[in-house]
Amino acid sequence: MENKMKNTDKFTLINELARRRGFFWQAYEMYGGVSGFVTYGALGAKLKQKIENKVREFFVSNLGIMEIEGPIIAPGKVFEASGHVDNFKEPMVECLQCKKKIRADHLLQETAKLSASEAEKLSLKEIKETIEKYGVRCPDCCGDFGEPKYFLTMFQTTIGPYSDAVGYGRPEAAQGIFVEFRRLYEMAREKLPFGAMQIGHALRNEISPRQGLIRLREFTIIDIEFFFDPEDPECFILKDVEKEKLRLVLAENKLRGSEEIVETTVKEALEKGYIKIAWQAAFMALAKRLLMDLGVPGEKQRFVEKLPWERAHYSKQSFDQEVYVDRWGWVEVSGHAYRTDYDLKQHMQFSGVDTRVFKEYEKPVEKEKTFVKPLMAKLGPAFKGEAQKIAEMLLEADPEEVEASIKERGYYMLGQHRILPEYIEITREKVKELGRRFIPHVVEPSFGSDRLFYVALEYAYRVKDDRVVLSFPRDIAPIQIGVYPLVNKDGLPQKALQVRELLANEGFAVEYDDAGSIGRRYARADEAGIPLGVTIDYETLKNDTVTVRDRDTWKQVRNSIDNLPELLCKYFRKKISFEDLGNPV
């Protein structure tokens, strides 16, 4: 076993352990498996739930963010409004000989040794030129590639029996929050700031998924949308995190070809303008703490600022939180985007539903205000039956934005409708305003649950005396306590089952094991990441005391059965240490 561990990389060892012990494996194995889909087993499902509950602890319990649950399928109009239909595409090449389809930017990273940022910004024409320049051929059959093309990475379907009712499997959970904004705002008592979170499955039709849990076609995403007033972006949790140190890779350094890490506090990062929005910086600090609670040290984390062409279409500034893993180096586990008012504005324009909020001034303010007056005599012939709806939408649009767009481009896009200057009249009047109407801005922390799962597994994995130990933090371990009779006779199994029932009734996740020697049972428990083992022996029958064993140090203490529930509760809430569980054996 020792030689095998020395000669095999950690990723392979973890995947073998995951299959054998029931953490996860490739789905549909009996049909040969399908790339990009996994099944979580009994231990894996519990671990994943614990990790997601840890996220809830950070953001729902501690910050009061609302958690919702929405559909996975959405009407096509939703993703037309959000920009995904136009932007959620990846470049692909197909081998003319074996017909293998490969994501082009990944291919060039591997064969032409381009960096990720260099490969991602190439146009289709530039991809073709680069393939020809480096003589890139199919890695499977050495065949030539055809013309590069874009592939829409959303799963498309139809809703109901009508082929024109196009729907998409959501590639993120964010839009399910944005489209419910009005109702969520009411639930927040019409006060900003507030946030909403959604944890659920998402679908991305990846061209060539690789990297195990790191890149899947069906995965669990954790999206948080935090809404605030852009003119009052004060962050009420900043005091709690302003001294937290962040390791940043800044865009300005990336442009010079450097991945130099700038270590700075949250407060300094805001003062120096590294991070634009206080709320975004605060969520990045909380994300760092979350990963530390999952077992990833701070020095193994960094936040990489995305270059303009790397950012999503909705983002004004984005950072990827990355964790170092053995097989691939730095891997993204969460993204932090300042989405401005993009999404709410788009959905307002496409749906006609007003997503603005009203904020009252302390005293009325006199202002010169711009107004847009729809000219029905012009709109009617141009838009026919939609003219009235378009007129209503124009009245709700931002007049200054309409005017600026017409001056710059000669028209204004209202959803899918092009508004020409002759369709409207723009006027200015002095008015007394009691308050202002505006579209809230948004910062978004977005976590990949499966990626959090993998990095927690990798950082828990270690070898002690040729034995695999999964040293999960005690509060995310899938099974908390193992209960073992020392031997299978003399009433010890019966007593052990009583202890197991007691602890289970107290709400602990308990596993009973009486197979093989006690040493083998300890080894199995260590490999499954069970923090504590409770052993029932002959002394238990005399005085109702048991041995409690620590997974990581293999130390043992002894205490009475009656004391266990209270002590174990404190232990798993990190209020006491292992030594506090009893007297050393």
Average pLDDT in the 508-531 region?
Answer: 97
Q: Which tokens go with 334?
A: 């969460």
Domain boundary among 372, 400, 435: 435
- Asked if 147 and 165 sit in the same domain, the reply is no
pLDDT higher than 90, residue 296: yes
Residue 115 confidence class, pLDDT cut points 50, 70, 90 = confident
Query: pLDDT tens for residues 135-167?
Result: 999 998 999 999 999 999 999 999 998 788 999
**Residue 249, phi then psi, degrees to nearest 5:** -110, 110
Q: pLDDT value at position 245?
A: 98
Q: pLDDT value at position 372?
A: 92
Whether residue 15 is contained in a domain is answered as yes
Q: pLDDT value at position 364?
A: 86
Q: pLDDT value at position 358?
A: 94
Distance CA 527, CA 463 (A): 10
Average pLDDT in the 353-359 region?
Answer: 94
Query: pLDDT tens for residues 58-94?
Result: 999 999 999 999 999 999 999 999 999 988 899 999 9
Identify the CATH number of the domain in which residue 56 sits: 3.30.930.10
Whether residue 139 is contained in a domain is answered as yes
Q: pLDDT value at position 212?
A: 87
Query: pLDDT tens for residues 387-407?
Result: 999 998 898 888 989 999 999
**CB 395 within 8 Å of CB 387:** no
Whether residue 293 is contained in a domain is answered as yes
Q: Is the pTM of this model over 0.85?
A: yes
- Asked if 125 and 254 sit in the same domain, the reply is no
Query: pLDDT tens for residues 303-328?
Result: 999 999 889 889 999 999 999 999 88
Residue 366 confidence class, pLDDT cut points 50, 70, 90 = confident
In angstroms, what CA-CA distances link 555 with 516, 535, 558, 559?
A: 21, 13, 11, 14
- Asked if 184 and 284 sit in the same domain, the reply is yes
Residue 210 confidence class, pLDDT cut points 50, 70, 90 = confident
Q: pLDDT value at position 96?
A: 93
Distance CA 198, CA 172 (A): 10
Q: pLDDT value at position 5?
A: 55
Identify the CATH number of the domain in which residue 521 sits: 3.40.50.800
In the 8-state DSSP scheme, what is residue 95? B
- Asked if 72 and 105 sit in the same domain, the reply is no
pLDDT higher than 80, residue 7: no
Segment holding 319, helix H or strand E: strand 317-325
- Asked if 212 and 121 sit in the same domain, the reply is no
Whether residue 187 is contained in a domain is answered as yes
Nearest to 510 by CA among 524, 527, 531, 526: 531
- Asked if 96 and 72 sit in the same domain, the reply is no
Residue 434 confidence class, pLDDT cut points 50, 70, 90 = confident
Q: pLDDT value at position 114?
A: 84
pLDDT higher than 90, residue 506: yes
- Asked if 173 and 237 sit in the same domain, the reply is yes
Whether residue 558 is contained in a domain is answered as yes
Whether residue 83 is contained in a domain is answered as no
Identify the CATH number of the domain in which residue 146 sits: 3.30.40.230
Burial code (b: 16+ CB inside 10 Å, e: under 16) for 404-428 equals ebbeeeeebebbebebeeebbeeee
pLDDT higher than 70, residue 4: no
**CB 182 within 8 Å of CB 190:** no
Percent of the chain beyond pLDDT 70? 99
Domain boundary among 413, 435, 457: 435
- Asked if 265 and 391 sit in the same domain, the reply is no
- Asked if 19 and 65 sit in the same domain, the reply is yes
Whether residue 196 is contained in a domain is answered as yes
Whether residue 280 is contained in a domain is answered as yes
Q: pLDDT value at position 176?
A: 96
- Asked if 292 and 426 sit in the same domain, the reply is no
The total of structural domains in the chain comes to 4
- Asked if 323 and 405 sit in the same domain, the reply is no
> CA angle, corner 312, sides to 310 and 317, nearest 5?
80
Give the structural domain span for 521. Answer: 479-584
Distance CA 519, CA 522 (A): 5
- Asked if 120 and 164 sit in the same domain, the reply is no
